[in-house]
Structure 1
């Protein structure tokens, strides 16, 4: 099946990750974070020298949104892989 950590005895035998909820959250937040990264990136590119907020914070926000979008994408891929594996095992 795959590598699994040995049970420590403290978790339930039937413990499962809520894959459908993770799928929903990743599918909702991935486009939002991508839109945020694009929005802050364009705003930073169009900002002038005396504008507030400055260019630095906008670039930082764009980078943070980009990292969160990448995290949501990776989680989406992991969840889809696990759901496919569950369907194949049934």
Structure 2
């Protein structure tokens, strides 16, 4: 009877933000990894371990996002969504 549920009246539906999520995950990995190395060099073991764990989670997240990007590319037969795919 009207527009589809969840569709906004003033534009197309939103697209996936996988590229942004990948960039943020890699940024988190670099920052947390660098901070972990700095903490270990300064002799701060506990903050270094915590930051290394955060870096590991960010790297795992980046891997998962890349997996999802590949799945999307296969499902859509190679359709490109941005310059980075």
Determine which of 57, 62, 75 is the counterpart of 1:82.
Answer: 75
Size of the aligned set, in residue pairs, is 64
Normalized per residue, the structure richer in helix is 1
Confirm or deny that 1:44 pairs with 2:31. Answer: no
Which structure has the higher relative contact order (CA within 8 Å, separation 6+)?
1
Structure 2 unmatched ranges of 5 or more: 1-13, 80-85
TM-score (norm. length: structure 2): 0.66
Structure 1 moving runs of 4+ over 6 Å: none
Residue of structure 1 equivalent to 2:66:
73
When residues 74 and 65 of structure 1 are mapped into structure 2, their CA distance, relative to the original with a 3 A threshold, is same
TM-score (norm. length: structure 1): 0.62
Q: C-alpha separation between the residues in 2 aligned to 1:50 and 1:84?
A: 49
Structure 1 unmatched ranges of 5 or more: 1-19
